[in-house]
Amino acid sequence: GTNEFCPNMMFAIGDQVLATQAHPEFTDETMGKAVDYFRDKLPADFIAAAAATIVPHATDSQTLAHWIINFLKQEREATD
């Protein structure tokens, strides 16, 4: 898939594919702000359900970075 903001949502190297759908950089604070933004635009039960899923946690940026590095290293090692 693609969009104007992110033209490359999936990468293929050889027979390996790396794709993500989420935003691992979003913190619980970012998501709280998003819920607040939509509070008057969406049904209250929808907003309540969304707010209930927000839990304080570390972002997955480091995990995603390791996945990307390993994905790229794997192909490089295969061609060396």
Say if 36 falls within a structural domain: yes
- Number of domains making up the chain: 1
Expressed as residue numbers, the domain containing 35 is 25-79
pLDDT in tens, 15-46: 888 877 666 667 888 889 999 999 999 999 99
Say if 35 falls within a structural domain: yes
Say if 4 falls within a structural domain: no
- DSSP state at residue 49: H
Which of 8-12, 39-43, 55-59 is modeled with the greatest confidence? 39-43
Say if 33 falls within a structural domain: yes
At residue 22, φ and ψ (nearest 5 deg) are -90, 180
Of the candidates 6, 1, 20, 2, the residue with the CA atom closest to the CA atom of residue 71: 20
Say if 67 falls within a structural domain: yes
pLDDT band at 79 (very low <50, low <70, confident <90, very high): low
